[in-house]
Amino acid sequence: MLKQIAEKRGFFAALDQSGGSTPGALRHYGIADSEYSGDTEMFQLMHAMRVRIMTAPAFTGDKIIGAILFEATMDGQAENKPVPMFLWEDRGVVPFLKVDKGLETEADGVQLMKPIPGLDDLLARAVKLGIFGTKMRSVINLASKEGIAAIAKQQFEIGQQIVAHGLVPILEPEVSIKSPDKAGAESILREELLKGLDALPESSRVMLKLTIPSVPDFYRPLIEHPRVVRVVALSGGYSRSEACQKLAENHGMIASFSRALINDLKKSMSDSEFDAALAEAIDEIYEASVDKA
């Protein structure tokens, strides 16, 4: 799994919408709020959508090297197998788990992660289910040195807790594409991440999930850092074509897209229409993730 994540050409499928983002994702897929009652039914419908994606012919390790799962997806089944086992054994896709519990209210221009109660128990369960790594997101809205330093500190501290379980954490300090000084925020973030990486024990390995930078190849020093397994990009609200265009300008950075991957998929599609739309999205994102130089 480590060799695939570190070296293989391809990208990540982020299938980890949860909580507040789930109703919107279902509406976009073509399931109205009136079609379910309560969280249990909502997550059952979401799981069915994710299984439809994961079992589609194009969803394989040929182009998708990793997939990020919501906790309920990790605990679910696909073709009568636990989802992490199905992804790796049947699809050749390395499974990751989203572990954060959402965002705090903005302070100092950033939104830290909420506390993650029971994290050690969750990580132990993830290891038993065959999960390789984790992902956790916080958000940077302004070019605030104090705020961004706090974001980096929290990401690295929880990251080390995850490393202690033998998992590879994806640190995701997202810079909002709506930030009034996105490039300034990215400059501060790169400095803070390099400091955090330099301070890691030699045996620690992490990944980074970052907004596509305003300046192409700006994150090359992070990509080349010896403690970094891979740097992946979030689509951040860009359309798929725009995200792919921007990503292609950044050598060594690969996609980890959610909405940009699944936005064209609808429940009403026939299986052949669904599979064709997903395959087209996979091909476009793969091409943007593969270095041309």
Strand partners, 133: 96, 168
Ramachandran category for residue 273: left, alpha or beta (phi over 0 → left; psi -120 to 50 → alpha): alpha
Amino acid at 10: G
Q: Please compute the mean of the pLDDT values over residues 124-128 and round it to a whole number.
A: 98
Which pLDDT belongs to residue 17? Answer: 74
SS (H, E, C) the chain: CHHHHHHCCCEEEEECCCHHHHHHHHHHHCCCHHHCCHHHHHHHHHHHHHHHHHCCCCCCCCCEEEEEECHHHHCCEECCEEHHHHHHHHHCCEEEEECCCCECCCECCEECECCCCCHHHHHHHHHHCCCCEEEEEEEECCCCHHHHHHHHHHHHHHHHHHHCCCCEEEEEEEECCCCCCHHHHHHHHHHHHHHHHHHCCCCCCEEEEEECCCCCCCCHHHHCCCCEEEEEEECCCCCHHHHHHHHCCCCCEEEEECHHHHCCCCCCCCHHHHHHHHHHHHHHHHHHHCCCC
CB-CB contact of 200 with 172 (8 Å): no
CA 18, CA 80: separation in Å to the nearest integer? 23
pLDDT of residue 238: 93
Could you read off the pLDDT of 54-66 as tens digits, one per residue? 999 999 999 999 9
When the pLDDT of each residue in the chain is averaged and rounded to a whole number, the result is 96
Q: What is the pLDDT of residue 22?
A: 85
Residues 143-189 have pLDDT tens digits of 999 999 999 999 999 999 999 999 999 999 999 999 999 999 999 99
How large is the average pLDDT for residues 213-242? 96
Q: Is the pLDDT of residue 292 over 90?
A: no
Average pLDDT over residues 103-109: 98
**Rounded CA separation 181/229 (Å):** 28
Q: Looking at residue 259, what is its pLDDT?
A: 87
Please write the tens of the pLDDT for every residue from 14-49.
998 766 678 888 999 999 999 999 989 998 999 999
Q: What local confidence, expressed as pLDDT, does residue 18 receive?
A: 66
User: Which pLDDT band, with edges at 50, 70 and 90, does 11 fall under?
Assistant: very high
Q: Give the pLDDT of residue 19.
A: 61
**Rounded to whole angstroms, how far apart are CA atoms 138 and 155?**
8
pLDDT of 293 > 80? The answer is no
List, by residue number, the catalytic residues.
Answer: 172, 209
Quote the pLDDT of residue 184: 98
In the chain, % of residues over pLDDT 70: 98
Q: What span, in angstroms and rounded, lies between the C-alpha atoms of 220 and 188?
A: 15
3, pLDDT greater than 60: yes
What pLDDT score does 291 carry? 84
Angstrom distance (rounded) from CA 157 to CA 27: 36
